[in-house]
Structure 1
């Protein structure tokens, strides 16, 4: 679904600033239940953010807020509805362990809660090369009196980390999720202080296997993947410090300087990603609740639509129930694509398989290195707890692997049997 975008350029030197004199303490994310981040439709503010080093002294924080996630209200004296967003940031020098910059800015958007659009903006702040910073930023939906706080590492140690490149579309809009359709163009803007004029683009096919059930042994042999590029191409920056390229085949497009292993990676998984709009794209995620024989027949079918409908009808017992199951199952698949996509589609990942089969976890504890999902009450013997460890992956920062265990076997089959008996788990 395409959404309109409204841009807000928040230039700190121009706006009236509220300087925050003291640092407020906050509860560590690892001790706080943040299950709401995986609840689609919860409509709570949760912006996407990207850091870009524009040159050797200025860094930018780009953000995108879904208008559906903020509350539009109207006061008696007003004729239109409006949303009010307050943004506060705190920049800490990692070496000095000292806060060196704090400020607050706000903006108002006019509209209503039924509009579908993005509120894009950028905050510029001063940084120095060869330094590292921690940026703590709080987004506050003033009308709803609800906020979210995020922390991001500002890496100025070298000119070749990912923060020195910004991915744009042909209208110069910032791309927050690097997946494209065939024939789309992308633009990469570089830090203007980087002298390199050429980047190498490597194209890889991306037919990665789906996640294994949570009880599978870690020693289970994995399908061997050939991760060598299909082709390599040189791209040259223009006078605006930009390169552009047109996406062709499905796969991964890795763009890096010649002397670095870090750079943007662009993806072409399927048309309309992360949404699932075709039968062709609906069949693969059904592997989690189908037998191998059923799945192979669906793949080989000359009329996948009829055979897929038959599968859901048979497990549901009626057309109405089948429609309910299909709606919920693929809603979870699309949510998994939104939340968990890394170097492969979100539904294929370890977090994706658990999310699709078990649903939204009751409790989520999250820190820099792992996520702990709990289904049921905490400290209850009957509850299920899944731990996902973050993988150091040069392509993506969203790669997590599940700590598998045989203890999950009975709950897994219970959940799958529920789906196959026509009941949403």
Structure 2
């Protein structure tokens, strides 16, 4: 009996160790600072994991981990899932601190999501904490990593309420179409306050433009009053909303409200607005002034390519980039109007994405190119979103930027 019990325990421990190693590629030392997270921005990702934390105590958090199913009807057994909580971006991530997530850990398995929940407690003497979910596609080895702050200098606090779809999966986007509703839930009885900001934003300056951006005007705020948790709350106007439990605090939930077609482009006026990144000023002004927008756009593309088929290819690719920028980078701005969305639209998905507590670095190492180019986005503390980044602009970006624009205009840009 003693020998059988010991063997069973060793077999169990070995199986957990093998699972962890399968879920995590250990190449020397791995930490949040040196993990390439480029798959979170890929146009060909099969899943999209998130962590949406809720604060449940002074140092206690519920890690809500929805994994969006992008490929059709994915098989759970084709992936391995795990998570870890680290103190900083340099703490080593190994099989020793990774916690596996198995089918028995699934809180829900819906048409759109695999969903896990885990509670964690942060030691009282720990000043920072970051949660990481790791998902590995065992078919070809793709590794999806997503991290979020629990305690850090860039967030005031984590809300003790959450927003949910009507099937109780945590809301894992930053935008909804106006008129739609979210369900807000908490384990505490509370009223929530929400405020509406109708402001529209200008497009960002190019990456080589080092002069200061125009100073924002006063932001209009409309008090939309109180509402109860556990009751669906609609958001009727287009702009963005901020929801709080305590208006004296600097923490809450922000959601962008959009037109019904978002994140796609649906009108000729929208198409013209979004061509600003690859058009000359004169071209863009002429398009805006045209009485027949469709005819003007058709003529614009044909003059660039002199080929109808090639023009159709550029249109499809460019507005697909806009759609992805909106999905990936929307905050209180439309995704394509953010600094990261601008770079993504013109340069394409980066081949390397690396994070530190205070920045995000994109690397482009394109086939056929003799040099790498990198963009650094500084993280800025913002009451509305923990993921607000601004590009560190430099005149040195000008050659690569113009080269990418030329590729778009000649129909040679493809991803």
Residue in 2 that maps onto 1:418: 407
Q: Rate the CA distance shift 1:59–1:301 in 2: closer, same or farther, 3 A.
A: same
SS across alignment from 1:162? coil
- The structure 2 residue matched to 1:35, chosen from 21, 34, 38, is 38
Match of 2:276 among 275, 283, 287: 287
- Are 1:125 and 2:126 matched, yes or no? no
Q: Normalized per residue, which structure has more helix?
A: 2
Structure 1 gaps of 5+ residues are 1-15, 73-80, 109-115
Task: Please tell me whether residue 205 in structure 1 is matched to residue 195 in structure 2.
Answer: no
Greater shift after overlay, 354-363 or 394-403?
354-363
1:256-405 maps to which residues of 2 (within 5 A)? 256=244, 257-376=246-365, 382-405=371-394
Tell me whether 1:248 sits opposite 2:236 in the alignment. Answer: yes
Pick aligned residue for 1:66 from 54, 65, 68: 68
Residue 107 (structure 2) aligns with: none
8 A contact 1:168–1:189 mirrored in 2: yes
Shift of 1:89: 3.3
Give the aligned partner of residue 226 of structure 1: 218
Matches of 1:30 and 1:91 in 2, distance apart?
14
Shift of 1:347: 0.9
Distance 1:154 1:318, change over 3 A: same
**Alpha-carbon spacing, 1:102–1:360, altered in 2? closer, same or farther (3 Å):** closer
Structure 1 vs Structure 2 CA RMSD: 3.8
TM-score norm. by structure 1 comes to 0.76
> How many angstroms does 1:216 deviate by?
0.6
**CA distance in structure 1 between the partners assigned to 2:97 and 2:413 by the alignment:** 50
Residue 141 (str. 1) matches residue 145 (str. 2): no
Distance in 2 (CA, whole Å) between partners of 1:68 and 1:198 is 35
Instruction: Quote how far apart the aligned CAs of 1:71 are.
Output: 9.2
Query: Equivalents in 1 of 2:214, 2:249: separation in Å?
Result: 29
2:180 aligned with 1:184, yes or no? yes
Instruction: Check whether the contact 2:50–2:147 (CA below 8 A) recurs between aligned residues.
Output: no
d(CA) in 1 for partners of 2:166, 2:328: 25
When residues 105 and 37 of structure 1 are mapped into structure 2, their CA distance, relative to the original with a 3 A threshold, is closer
Aligned partners of 2:152 and 2:381: how far apart in 1?
19
Q: Which secondary structure does the structure 2 equivalent of 1:86 belong to?
A: strand
Equivalent pair of 2:73/2:111 in contact (CA under 8 Å) = no
Q: How far apart are the structure 2 equivalents of 1:129 and 1:164?
A: 19
Aligned residues: 382
Structure 2: which 5+ residue stretches go unaligned?
Answer: 1-11, 105-109
Corresponding residue for 1:87?
Answer: 81
Please, what TM-score do these two structures have when normalized by structure 2?
A: 0.78
**How far did residue 402 of structure 1 move?**
1.2
- 1:326-358 per-position Cα deviation (integer Å, ceiling 9, x unaligned): 011111111111222222111111122222222
Question: Cα 1:371–1:89, aligned 2, differ >3 Å: closer, same or farther?
Answer: closer
In the alignment, the residues of structure 2 paired with residue 292 and residue 278 of structure 1 have an alpha-carbon distance, to the nearest angstrom, of 21
- 2:33 aligned counterpart, secondary structure: helix
- Asked if structure 2 preserves the Cα contact closer than 8 Å seen for 1:62 and 1:123, the reply is yes
Distance 2:282 2:141 in 1: 52
